[in-house]
């Protein structure tokens, strides 16, 4: 005669569900990270970076030309006015014209500037910016004889 015993509930029945839950958690976290990576800043701050990299010797030559020019610029943000002063090697003001924009580094927002010369080598532009914080002044001074100086300076708008 055979006796059948009632089946006992298995105490280890939860273990497969723990593995399934753990893998589900890993997949959910990875999905959130992939979404965050695809929906935020790409890291590319310069258009056509590969082509610019191929022309890097031209960039070095332009930098050497500007250093040999000996001009120096100071850029200050005063409330809603951008003040730029340009001097030569001897500390004399550089007469000419100034043009440029303010660019929000991460967002790429651009604000055009209209500069007025208030004195030789001294320029001012009204800058009504949509946001406070860090901006980059991308400016070009055009001097006599076709010479020019590119200015890239970060300014903080309180």
pLDDT value at residue 32:
97
Low-confidence ranges of the chain (pLDDT < 70): 1-10, 44-45
Domains of the chain: total: 1
**Looking at the DSSP assignment, which residues form a beta bridge with residue 157?**
133
- The CATH number of the domain holding residue 101 is 2.60.40.3340
Specify if 14 maps to a domain.
Answer: no
15, 20, 22, 27: CA torsion to nearest 10: 170
pLDDT value at residue 105:
85
pLDDT value at residue 14:
86
Closest to 71 in 3D by CA, of 137, 141, 139: 141
Specify if 43 maps to a domain.
Answer: no
Specify if 148 maps to a domain.
Answer: yes
Specify if 44 maps to a domain.
Answer: no
Specify if 136 maps to a domain.
Answer: yes
Specify if 62 maps to a domain.
Answer: no
Angstrom CA distances, 78 to 7, 126, 127, 155, 157, stand at 83, 10, 10, 10, 8
pLDDT value at residue 4:
60
- Pairwise CA distance, residues 150 & 108, whole Å: 19
pTM (2 decimals)? 0.65
**Looking at the DSSP assignment, which residues form a beta bridge with residue 156?**
134
User: Residue 136: which domain range?
Assistant: 71-157
Per-residue pLDDT tens over the stretch 31-48: 999 999 888 877 766 778
pLDDT value at residue 9:
62
Specify if 49 maps to a domain.
Answer: no
Specify if 117 maps to a domain.
Answer: yes
């Amino acid at each position: 005669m055979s006796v059948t015993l009632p089946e006992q509930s298995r105490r280890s029945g939860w273990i497969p569900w723990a593995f399934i839950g753990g893998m589900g958690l890993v997949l959910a976290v990875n999905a959130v990270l992939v979404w965050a990576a695809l929906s935020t800043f790409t890291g590319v701050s310069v258009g056509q970076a590969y082509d610019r990299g191929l022309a890097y010797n031209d960039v070095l030559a332009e930098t050497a030309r500007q250093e040999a020019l000996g001009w120096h610029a100071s850029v200050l943000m005063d409330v809603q006015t951008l003040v730029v002063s340009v001097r030569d090697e001897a500390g004399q003001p550089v007469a000419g014209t100034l043009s440029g924009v303010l660019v929000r580094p991460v967002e790429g927002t651009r604000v055009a500037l209209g500069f007025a010369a208030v004195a030789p080598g001294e320029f001012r532009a009204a800058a009504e910016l949509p946001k406070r914080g860090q901006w980059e002044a991308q400016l070009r001074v055009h001097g006599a004889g076709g010479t020019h100086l590119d200015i890239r300076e970060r300014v903080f708008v309180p």
